Amino acid sequence: MAGGAGRLAGAAMRLIATALNLALMLAAAPGFAWLLAMAAALRDRAPMPAPLAIWRLWWALWRAEQVRLSGVSAFADAAIAAGLAAAILAAALIPTFTTALATAPFASLPLVVALLALAAILPLLSLMAAGTMAGGIAAGRILGFFCAASPALFLTFWALAQLGGGVMLNAIATPGGVASPLAPRLLAAIALAAIARAAPTAAAAESGGRARTMALATTALTQLGALSLVAALLVPFGIAGEGQGLLAAGIGLLLWLVKMAVAAGLLAWLRPARPPASRLLSPALTVATICAALAALLAQAPLI
């Protein structure tokens, strides 16, 4: 009886932690978008955005009359909604302040990366459905980048999985993983930074109203999820484990907020103020591929 009650209490705590983890990601997405805008304004020495500017913009777009531009079908808006659903599913699997989540048995690294990729790619169908030259060029640029960056991304995450001893996030995202060889982790971090440097900016949706709001939310949540995943893999210190209590979870929450604030500043610093013309084999992407390959080699046979 006591063992059954303990298992039931543990399951209830994991469900509560999962709900809080997802609510935290959803609530933090607009704030993260504002942090990115603020960091970009500091980089460009431009006027700072108002603290509630993002929330007001999203609310105004959500309340505005639904506008479907010429050539954009309901299927395109459904693609935006599907991208948002993929981003939400990924957010439910990524550990932020604790690994004791009810979704932990399903939180494998390939699945989370695939969901984040879907969240980034699916809204591009809206641009393709519009049939405009600007939308087609923007979608082609982003899809071309994904194709060119996929080898570096695969090697990077494969190396991190090797260092973590598996593909399950609750096993990889543990403070003990920091004690693994340093060189492949540094190379993986350089590869991801170079990919962020070379990545094209997200294209604006051709729809208006609620579809445009969902597109903006998808972009913010995908970026937040990707950086939370990278933080859990590269700097997992502070993430509470199974049975560590509320204090450890609270510390993990505060550290996650700090990590995301730092990540927003780094991402704004890495991205150029005026993105150059699209080049599939950019120098940054070449550096990312080389560093990812070296990280994969060192993770397989660590020397440092």
Q: Which two tokens stand for residue 198?
A: 């070379």
Q: What mean pLDDT, rounded, does the chain reach?
A: 82
pLDDT(304) > 50: no
Say if residue 55's pLDDT is above 50: yes
Domains of the chain, residue spans: 2-300
Q: Which long-range contacts (CB under 8 A, 24 or more apart) does 6-12 make?
A: 10/243, 11/102
Q: What is the pLDDT of residue 303?
A: 47
Of 70-74, 119-123, 140-144, 180-184, give the lowest mean pLDDT range: 70-74
Dihedral, CA of residue 143, residue 146, residue 151 and residue 153, to nearest 10: -160
Question: CA 13 to CA 54: how far, in whole Å?
Answer: 33
CA–CA dist 268, 37 (Å, integer): 8
As a whole number of angstroms, the distance between CA 286 and CA 194 comes to: 9
Name 195's Cβ contacts closer than 8 Å, sequence gap at least 6.
Answer: 149, 152, 153, 284, 285, 288
- pLDDT exceeds 70 at position 44: yes
Q: What is the torsional sign of CA 146, 44, 28, 253?
A: positive
**pLDDT at residue 152 in the model:** 93
Taking the C-alpha atoms of residue 244 and residue 97, their distance in angstroms, rounded to an integer, is 11
Distance separating alpha carbons of residues 3 and 8, to the nearest angstrom: 9
Quote the DSSP letter at residue 240: B
Query: For residue 218, which phi and psi values (nearest 5 degrees)?
Result: -65, -45
CA dihedral sign of residues 284, 290, 293, 296 = negative
Torsion sign, CA atoms 109, 24, 255, 257:
positive
Q: What is the pLDDT of residue 3?
A: 59
Alpha carbons 196 and 270: distance in angstroms, whole number: 7
Look up the pTM and report it: 0.87
CA angle 150, 33, 119 (to 5 degrees): 35
